[in-house]
Chain A
Amino acid sequence: MHYSGFKVIKEALTGHRGWGPAWRDATPKAQYDYVIIGGGGHGLATAYYLAKEFKQARIAVVEKGWIGGGNVGRNTTIIRSNYLLDGNEPFYEFSLQLWENLEQELNYNAMVSQRGILNLIHSDAQRDAFIRRGNAMILNGAGAELLSTEQIVARYPFLNVNNARFPIKGGLAQHRGGTVRHDAVAWGYARAADRHGVDIIQNCEVTGFRIENGACTGVETSRGFIGAKKVAACVAGSSSRLMEKAGMRLPIESHVLQAFVSEGLKPLLPGVITFGAGHFYCSQSDKGGLVFGGDIDGYNSYAQRGNLPVVEDVCEGGMAIFPNLGRARLLRMWGGIMDMSMDGSPIIDRTHVDGLYFNGGWCYGGFKATPASGFAYAHLLATDTPHKTATAYRFDRFATGHMIDEKGMGNQPNLH
């Protein structure tokens, strides 16, 4: 069913009886060409681009829970392409370009809102670093603008520019950044993939891989064995637990990142602001809630909930830069589990097992990468060669010394 204004009017006049489910609730077949493990944003996008762009068929997405119930529904919905390094910036810019056409592509209202993202500057050294980053962004076609304190005050008059420790001395803006409704991304990709014949199999947990003579021939699941020519792991957050079943240890630790939503407020915050020095970033959802977050808790966790010291730290950071935040009440908070990799960058690569592929290590940057991750992973699955924007995301980069370490923190995952 094609969604359109005409369809909305027709359904409004006929009692909304003709909508139907957005995708089929498929039951697993015995054999597929591709089985994608993980029905999150990345897995669904991979299935969609495999079918649409690479003309592949017989594709299944197997999901342990339900569509939209994992990290794709637990993030803070920001999109941007403001990276520095060559291994990253072309990839994230490709992703942002895909976001810009996503709704027409999927025929689904994902509420893509390019309201702009602003990284605040507090010192001369930070300004130098941000100018360098801005130049890298401009060279890659992403666009960037260095803003003065006056320009920031004009747009965000409520910011505390005279904080004693971190006075605001300017900012690096990417006007094409913004937010997207995260659930709609999952639903939109699921519906679009389904329309291209992809089987979306929910409540189907992968319990093991069937590996014969060094080649993966399928997955054991809670709903029986499913055979596949190619098996694609796509379960960031739980990557180590899944790949352990194939005998792999990964350059990844799982960490919990908390996010917060205030009560609904009238329009206050027009764009996304990030206060990196104080570990705080914030945007306002279309419902009016201030959506904000900060640092990871810092120790390995699969708990999907964090602890109070980081709640306090994030709220202190928010109050330092955004004092009227203190008048809003915190409505909800939650934690999401992320693959924190050894250099802060993801992996999209083959594994040592033939027919078994891996996508993970997204740290806390997975949401913005959803379209490009899906596209690049589909490219790898269909052609066995990496997409031109994802050539650096290899497993062996740690052995060869080609780390993509944006922050220069080294092999300490909780510092990225």
Chain B
Amino acid sequence: MLINHPILGPRDAGEFVYKGDASLIRRPDWQADDAVAQFIDYGYLRDNPAGLHRELWFHEQGDRSWLVVTRDTTTHEITKVELARDVARAEGRSK
């Protein structure tokens, strides 16, 4: 698989480490009343679709950036690659 890195261009997937479901960007609020239940969900439950999946890849053998890759889990086709930083900021995180 080739991952079309937004900064570096097409890179071999072997340079990356796979983390999983991109919803891991959204860490729960530790001060919420139901923080324990939220963190159990966050830590252990996953969306696991057959089809388009947004997932985190870490460019360990490259520029060490985190990417959000949109990939079809039934064909391995990658349709979108974003910097995780941009995705998180667009959601209002880490200003």
A residues near B (Cβ < 8 Å) are 238, 240-241, 249-254, 298-303, 307, 309, 342, 398-399, 411-414
Contact = CB atoms under 8 A, between A and B. Distances in A.
B76 A252 contact: no
Interface of B: 1, 12-14, 18-21, 40-41, 43-50, 53, 55, 71, 73-76
Given A299-B13, A309-B13, A411-B43, 14 more contacts: A238-B50, A240-B48, A241-B48, A241-B49, A251-B44, A252-B48, A253-B48, A254-B48, A254-B50, A254-B73, A299-B55, A307-B13, A399-B40, A412-B20
Contacts of B14: 309
A251 B43 CA distance: 9
Contact of A303 (B13, B46, B55, B76): B76
Contacts of B43: 342, 398, 411
Contacts of B46: 240, 249-253, 413
Given A303-B74, A303-B76, A398-B40, A249 B20 contact: no
A302 B40 contact: no
Contacts of A342: 43-44
Which of A241, A252, A253, A298: most chain B Cβ within 10 A?
A: A253
24 contacts: A240-B46, A241-B48, A249-B45, A249-B47, A250-B45, A250-B48, A251-B44, A251-B45, A254-B73, A299-B18, A299-B55, A299-B71, A300-B20, A300-B48, A302-B73, A303-B75, A303-B76, A307-B1, A307-B13, A399-B44, A411-B43, A412-B20, A413-B20, A414-B20
Nearest to B51: A302
B18 A298 contact: yes
Contacts of A399: 40, 44
Contacts of B75: 303
A290 to B, nearest CB: 26
A302 B44 contact: no
Contacts of B18: 298-299, 414
A41 to B, nearest CB: 22
Would you list the 6 A-B pairs with minimal beta carbon distance, nearest first?
A240-B48, A398-B44, A302-B50, A249-B45, A251-B44, A299-B18
A92 B14 CA distance: 35
Given A251-B46, A398-B44, A302 B20 contact: no
Contacts of A238: 50
Nearest to A241: B50
Nearest to A304: B74
A298 B75 CA distance: 15
Contacts of B41: 249
Contacts of B21: 253, 300
Which of B19, B49, B50: most chain A Cβ within 10 A?
A: B50
A129 to B, nearest CB: 25
Contacts of A253: 20-21, 46, 48
A26 B43 CA distance: 43
A250 B71 CA distance: 20
A413 B20 CA distance: 9
Contacts of A299: 13, 18, 55, 71
Which of B19, B20, B48, B55: most chain A Cβ within 10 A?
A: B48
